[in-house]
Structure 1
Amino acid sequence: MEDQANNTTSSNPKPSETPVLNISGKVETTQKTPRTMGKKKADPPPPTVPETSKINPTTFPVIMGRILLKSNDPPEPVSKMNLSDFKQYLCLLCMDKPSKRKLVSHMFISNEKELDSDFLKVRKIYENRKDLKILEQVTVYTLCARSLFHRVQMKLTDVEWNKQRNIFETDRIGERDVWNVTSRLYDLENEETEKLFNYAKFLSATNS
């Protein structure tokens, strides 16, 4: 009788185990889902990154302009890809106005490829001016020439600007007047570079 009872007990199925809740609150079942016969379903392709978000010689000036100018206006388009087109300069043609003891500076933006031709165009404007004497050409390399251009317009408040704010006059004091103006431009360019470093530090600190 005891053996028969043992046989009866072993033949009965075990009661089902109580379901266990996971941390999400859903019931986990012990039954495994059968595998589907056939080919394994391919993983979805990774999201594509828009071409405009990549950093290259074409997009770099746009990115710099957005950071430094806080603007989405892109620079003027170029006809073809050329690395020298994107090495930007803030340029000054410095002239003497002896009658009023003034130093006149014509400011414009250029790049390595067109630097000589741009200076030539500006020089031709003043070649026949008897009241002006051309002194020097000044070039300041910058990551974003538009941004530095606007910074000069805002920061040089002790000079006399024309209506277009691309030509300014300063009092002519001595032989180092051109050097003094150039030094101020480099100081302003250093401020632009500092803005980029601070922005990079901000992105690093915020894990952006």
Structure 2
Amino acid sequence: MLLMLFPRLAYRRAVLHAGIARPDAVWAQARAIHSGLPPPQRVGLPGLALMLRYMAWSRALYQALCESGLAPDAAGAVVREVNWSIFGPGIGVVFTVSRLRGIEPLPRVRLITDLLFTLLFTRPFRRRPVADGDNVSFEVTACPLADYFKAQGQPQLTHHAACSLDFLMARDWGVALSRERTIANGYALCDFRFHKP
């Protein structure tokens, strides 16, 4: 889990174990592309800065995979799997520790999402709660990850590198996620609703 603090090392390890053809060549190309990218703008607290560094590696890997002959959707799927292999285990540990809060998953989801928006998804992210009974519902009205990929000319990559991970997270938490709109798809907000399956 400490490896997560070092995006280049974590990304290299994940790419080399991603089950793609010629992983060494793809990683070398991703490194070359990454070295030519402008560094992500420093915004927010260190957690968000770390997330943006991962998004820069996602951008580089995506381009390297496309240049290696992978179709854009297939390249996006690899980016999703690589990112989940990095972030999934840490998120799983946090959910396991949240068991101290109780057995019911939705109060634990509320605790974890509050924690994520305190440590990682900090300003300029903006989130507002939505009253929705026992469900954990909120709207994200500003997303620097979507802004980053849009500025890179790859807005569709937001879905693969970030948005799709929310559904994997919900699955592992034993809840369902409904989301009809995202900033990445051109809407003014992302509508999150975690609920019992």
> Is the pair's TM-score, using the shorter chain for normalization, greater than 0.5?
no
Interval of TM-score (by shorter of Structure 1 and Structure 2): under 0.3
**Greater strand proportion:** 1
Higher relative contact order (CA 8 A, sep 6+): 2
The two structures have a TM-score, normalised by structure 2, of 0.26
The two structures have a TM-score, normalised by structure 1, of 0.25
